[in-house]
Amino acid sequence: MHKDDQMTPNERLNAFMTGKPMDRILAMPVVCSMSGLALGMTHKEKRSTALNEARAQIACYERFGNDLAIIEYGLHGVGMALGSEMTDPEDAVPAITKYVLDDLNDVDQLDMSKLELKKDKAFQLHLEAAKILIDKLGKEVPTGVLISGPFTAAASIYKTENLLRATRKNPEKLHKLIKFCNEGLKMIYREFIKEGILILLCDPIASGTILHQKQYLEFVLPYTIDLMKDIHDANGMVCYHICGDTTSIVGDMVESGCDMLSIDNRVDLSYTKEVAGDKVPILGNVDPVEVLYLGNSNDVDLAVKKCIQSAYDSPNGYILASGCDLSGNIPLENIDQFMASARKYGKWPLDPKNFLIK
């Protein structure tokens, strides 16, 4: 437990979910992609072994006292397992260079068995990392897995621009591809859920910056609803996040059945509270780039203060978080400040005078 806290993250989360007092607000900077920095590791080193991935998360928790450890199955995991080819950069997240599916009409040739744990080495690595984390930190900290939603999984198999074109030109085959991804994701999710891991479902290609609301309602929401039901049938819990501007679909996202809703910094937190706050807890949304990557400690402090002021009274509860995963060579001092400001302004019981912005 962090020296400046009176509760462990598990105790704090349990109190949050049951409406009991906490020592401070829950604070979850998404320390996933950049976690190796806490040990001086490059991204390639961090992702190379299960032990390195786990050690990076442990180092982050020991330094920051953040309320969630995060394993990175990632947004391209489904495509990688099926045969999409990736870059292997030293200090960045791998990117797809060749997609396994060139022609959407060949969707029936995709092999679901390649997504099974026994056949996917990357899947095995991430699950083993999660088990190490739970063994080392499980009594104190919940563990989540950052993993794609159905539309983004489809975009790891079939090129995004072609995927978007198919919403108009070949919707029948596109539905078949997304359904295939959904069934694969259910199988993958369940392996993590069996270990007591929270699902952090991230579907950035479903963003309102990319899709119109009508496309989201047709090609994303029905499959996400199906996924959420399967997660709950397996006794799992899920936080739902879509990157970019999701203002037009915030209400629709809640209809997915998610347990928590996370929003990007491009979405107004007060608006989200009005639309979704009476239905689910909301998370967000300190800017990961302009504030946490490029800003200084004063910028971070003010951003945290503004977020708490905007959403502290959300009816179903509010969790301070970054607007997205933190990546790149982010200054660790800014994450220190994020947590320090959470402890300063989010001290329980919450008092608006502590975070009033004049």
Backbone torsions φ then ψ of 72, nearest 5 degrees: -110, 85
C-alpha to C-alpha distances, 19 to 140, 156, 305, 312, nearest whole angstrom: 19, 39, 23, 14
The predicted structure's pLDDT at residue 102: 96
For residue 242, give every residue at least 6 positions away whose Cβ sits within 8 Å of its Cβ, in sequence order, or none: 149, 202, 203, 204, 206, 207, 208, 249, 253, 264
Per residue of the chain (358 residues), give pLDDT as tens. Answer: 999 999 999 999 999 999 999 999 999 999 999 999 999 999 999 999 999 999 999 999 999 999 999 999 999 999 999 999 999 999 999 999 999 999 999 999 999 999 999 999 999 999 999 999 999 999 999 999 999 999 999 999 999 999 999 999 999 999 999 999 999 999 999 999 999 999 999 999 999 989 999 999 999 999 999 999 999 999 999 999 999 999 999 999 999 999 999 999 999 999 999 999 999 999 999 999 999 999 999 999 999 999 999 999 999 999 999 999 999 999 999 999 999 999 999 999 999 998 888 6
- Cα–Cα distance, 23 to 145 (Å, whole number): 26
Find tokens 């006292």 and name the residue. 65
The predicted structure's pLDDT at residue 330: 96
The predicted structure's pLDDT at residue 316: 97
**pTM over the 0.75 mark:** yes
The three-point CA angle 40-305-8 to 5° equals 55
* Domains, the chain: 68-258 (3.20.20.210)
Indicate if the alpha-carbon torsion angle 86, 211, 105, 227 is positive or negative: positive
Report the SS3 class of residue 206.
helix
Q: Are 61 and 75 in contact (CB under 8 A)?
A: no
